[in-house]
Amino acid sequence: MLSSTLTSALPGVVETLSVPLQVDYYSAQLFNGLVLGMILVLISLGLTIIFGLLGIINFAHGDTLLVGTYVSWTVIDATGSYFLGVGGAIVATLVLGMLLERTLLRYTYGRYGALLQLLLTFGVAELLRGSVIFVWGRTGKNFSTPAWGDSAVDLVLFSYPLYRVFVVVAGTVLIAAVYLFLNRTDLGLLIRAGTQDREMVDMLGIDVSRLYMVVFGIGAALAGTAGALIGPVRGAFPTLGIELLIPAFVVVVVGGLGSFRGSIVAGLLIGQLQVMTGVFYSEAAQAIAFVFMAVVLLVRPDGLFGAEVAAE
């Protein structure tokens, strides 16, 4: 059940091993690494902005992603439109995130430390996964690639499935959108200010608690979008969320929690590292991210970009 690994995120890695030493093969693998990296960046960005403002590390993030995957599957199944599916996943996880913040996390601020908040989100993760299993069943769903994504694009050196090119483009657009939102809008300014000094923003008469809700919703929606994007690549099955959450933790530890830049660099790096290791020594593909994390911790305990030690 848990055997599907991150490298099988990109089926084709093992099969194509028999025709090595070709430029097109390796460049296609580089692109596979980019796809995985994009997904990891999206997941870790959600984790990181939630952590930045609320100081919570959200263990339910992976299962929020799972909800996104399944909701998009259902919408696509019903309407036949892939983009409606992505939209459905975004809306559903946005609402889910805001609800969670309003109903549960709200009551932990100031009362409990990060330790219990983490456990609370662990409970939420179980509840979400249980509910997904309750609604959609324990066996996975076959997630077909949208019709337009089946064709291959000629990228000069190699041809590559259009859908995966779309994932990379969509991921880039989303990351840019989040960046612009945080840096160019008033709400983004408030969020950044709140990340630096919550009390001060509160004292300036801004409703920080509403800010919390919005940020939790956005973080959850990022996970939900990642879930919808990865659906056609991996399929939908109940442990998908957990499997992606743990490498995302590695990404935020390596990148430095709360660091936007760190998440992007570390996410792309680890995606590439995992796929490339898979090419040369597939047994180590899953382990390599953890080994990399251990090395980074030894050399730079605060992560590659983490100067601030906010959580301690």
Partner 1 sequence: MISAVATRVRSFSDRVGELRLAFVASLALIAILPDLMGPFIASHVMVMAIFAMGYNIILGFGGELSFGHAAYFGLGAYGVILSLEHLFSSLYVAIPVTVVAVTALSVVFGFLSLRRRGIYFAMITLALAQLVYVIVFQWADLTGGSNGASIPITEAQIGPLAPMNNELHFFFVVSALFLLLFALVARVVRSPFGRVLKAIRESEERALHLGYDVDKYLLLAFTMSGAISALAGAIYAVLFVFISPSLLFWQLSGEVVIMTIIGGIGTLTGPLVGSVVFIFFSNTLTRVTDHWEIFFGLVIITIVMLAPEGIIGLLRNTFLDENESFSIRRLIERLRP
In whole angstroms, the minimum distance from the beta carbon of 185 to partner 1 comes to 25
- As measured in angstroms, the least distance from the Cβ of 23 to partner 1 is 30
Interacting span for partner 1 (CB under 8 A) from 120-128, 168-176, 211-219, 264-272: 120-128
Q: Which residues of 137-155 are buried (b: 16+ CB within 10 A; e: fewer)?
A: eeebbebebbeebeeeeee
Beta carbon of residue 166, minimum distance to partner 1 (angstroms, whole number): 30
58-97 residues near partner 1, rule: CB under 8 A? none
Give yes or no for residue 229 binding partner 1 (CB under 8 A): no
Token code pair at residue 57: 């590390």
Shortest Cβ 57–partner 1 spacing (Å) = 5
Binding of partner 1 at residue 55 (CB under 8 A)? Answer: yes
Pick from 3, 23, 184, 186: which binds partner 1 (CB under 8 A)?
3
Given a contact cutoff of 8 angstroms between Cβ atoms, the answer to whether 50 and 215 are in contact is yes
Q: How far is the CB of 198 from partner 1 (least distance, A)?
A: 9
Nearer to partner 1, 174 or 273 (CB): 273
Residue number with CB closer to partner 1 (76 or 257)? 257
Contacting residue, 12, 20, 78, 126, with partner 1 by CB under 8 A: 126
Give whichever of 17 and 246 is closer to partner 1, judged by the CB atom.
246
* Segment 233 to 292, residues that bind partner 1, using CB under 8 A: 242, 246, 249-250, 252-253, 257, 283, 286-287, 290-291
The residues binding partner 1 (CB under 8 A) are: 2-3, 5, 51, 54-57, 104, 107-108, 110-116, 118-120, 122-131, 133-134, 242, 246, 249-250, 252-253, 257, 283, 286-287, 290-291, 293-294, 297-298, 301, 310-312
